[in-house]
Amino acid sequence: MASFGRFLAKRVLQGLVVIFGVITVLFLLRYITPGSPVDFIAPLDASQATRERIADSLGLNEPLYVQYADYVVSLLQGDMGYSYRSGTAVRPRVFAKLPATLELAVVATFVAIAISIPLGVVSATRRHTVPDYVATLFSLLGISTPNFWLGVMLVVVLAVQFGFFPTSSRPVGLLDALGNLVVIAGPERGWALPLRVDPFLSDMQNWLLHIVLPAITLGTYFTALITRLTRSGMLDQLGRGYVRAARAKGLPETLVRYRHALRNTLIPVITVVGLQLGTLIGGAVITEAVFDWPGLGSLVIDAINNRDWPLIQGCLVVIGAGFVIVNIVVDALYAKLNPQVMD
């Protein structure tokens, strides 16, 4: 049986290949799509000479492989080029927006898993009771509702009608809020850590209020999906021979359910979750659009509308890389649960 370390190394290597593929595809995509960035940058009445000059300055007249090599080399050095539209460096912009998207994704995923697995288990073990019907109905609705519509409706009802939550935006980030707790003053003033509790509390409250609706919007589909999968998985496992054998040897029911049945249920659930992460990221893009949440999603849409290639590439490379990383983590988790897969 292969060791876990070797398995992980193999997956990481595969991941790198994929990221490379992503970069290449993005690069080629630029050349297939109609419209040259020059059209966006040059003034409408620019002369041919001016356009040539612009194209030159953007490096568009070099042979294809040269441009490709340039791009890859600079990527490896951490340079993602400069936005066509604003001329600012791409990388700082992308990474500045990353935390917002990460917050949203992590909170939504966390809440989704925390709700859905217990819900799925309860639904499976107490069939044909009220909790089961409620869970089933909820999960059916959850996978059938477009998340952007849910977001708009939530805003209409909870924010506009009742005013419980703000309607959009994200004035303060989590790290900013946490930053209130830890302030390292520096060697001159001594490494004192004054805890600014009040600003921390108000910042946290601010952050929480603003993230609730977007997180619900993003997380609902996932919650519903995992609930369904957990429920059907548990039902399947509870009917299997080893469950009966486990009871026969005297294991208490709770152990049978969680240590045995749930464990084997989670295995395929994790696979599907991994496959569906793409949906989560797509959902994040939409949620950001609905709530004016300043993250990568909004950035990438703007970039696409402006044909701002360096920015598009930068965003998509980061999104693709993040996706690959998360998939590797999911695969590792899966291998821990189901060691047969490492052979």
Instruction: For residues 227 and 134, give the distance between their C-alpha atoms in angstroms, rounded to a whole number.
Output: 11
Tokens of 66: 């040269």
**Interface pattern 236-275 for other proteins (x via CB under 8 A):** ----xxx-xxxxxxxxx-xx--xxx-xxx-xxx--xx--x
Q: Which is nearer to other proteins, 115 or 177 (CB)?
A: 115
Type of residue at 192: A
Tokens of 82: 């400069």
Q: Is 125 in the site for other proteins (CB under 8 A)?
A: no
Quote the least distance from Cβ 151 to other proteins, whole Å: 9
Contacts of 166 (CB under 8 A, 6+ apart): 159, 209, 210
Instruction: For residues 5 and 12, give the distance between their C-alpha atoms in angstroms, rounded to a whole number.
Output: 11
Place of tokens 């019907």: 133
Q: Which is nearer to other proteins, 48 or 305 (CB)?
A: 305
Quote the least distance from Cβ 327 to other proteins, whole Å: 8
The secondary structure of residue 126, as a DSSP letter, is: T
Q: Which is nearer to other proteins, 36 or 180 (CB)?
A: 36
Q: Is 68 in the site for other proteins (CB under 8 A)?
A: no
Q: Which is nearer to other proteins, 184 or 248 (CB)?
A: 248
Q: Is 290 in the site for other proteins (CB under 8 A)?
A: yes
Q: Is 110 in the site for other proteins (CB under 8 A)?
A: no
Q: Is 319 in the site for other proteins (CB under 8 A)?
A: yes
Tokens of 146: 């477009």
Q: Are 249 and 136 in contact (CB under 8 A)?
A: no
Instruction: For residues 59 and 300, give the distance between their C-alpha atoms in angstroms, rounded to a whole number.
Output: 23
Stretch that binds other proteins, among 5-13, 74-82, 101-109, 335-343 (CB under 8 A): 335-343
Q: Is 146 in the site for other proteins (CB under 8 A)?
A: yes
214, 233, 294, 314: which one contacts other proteins (CB under 8 A)? 233
Q: Is 46 in the site for other proteins (CB under 8 A)?
A: no
**Interface pattern 166-195 for other proteins (x via CB under 8 A):** ------------------------------
Q: Is 10 in the site for other proteins (CB under 8 A)?
A: no
Stretch that binds other proteins, among 22-30, 173-181, 187-195, 209-217 (CB under 8 A): 22-30
Q: Is 50 in the site for other proteins (CB under 8 A)?
A: no
84, 203, 231, 318: which one contacts other proteins (CB under 8 A)? 231
Place of tokens 């797509």: 282
Q: Is 300 in the site for other proteins (CB under 8 A)?
A: yes
Q: Is 64 in the site for other proteins (CB under 8 A)?
A: no
Q: Which is nearer to other proteins, 196 or 263 (CB)?
A: 263
Mark 53-88 as b/e (b = at least 16 C-beta within 10 Å). Answer: ebbeebebeeeeeebbeebeeebeeeebbbbbbeee
H-helix or E-strand containing 132?
helix 130-144
- Angle (deg, nearest 10), helices 147-154 and 197-238: 140
Tokens of 54: 């612009």
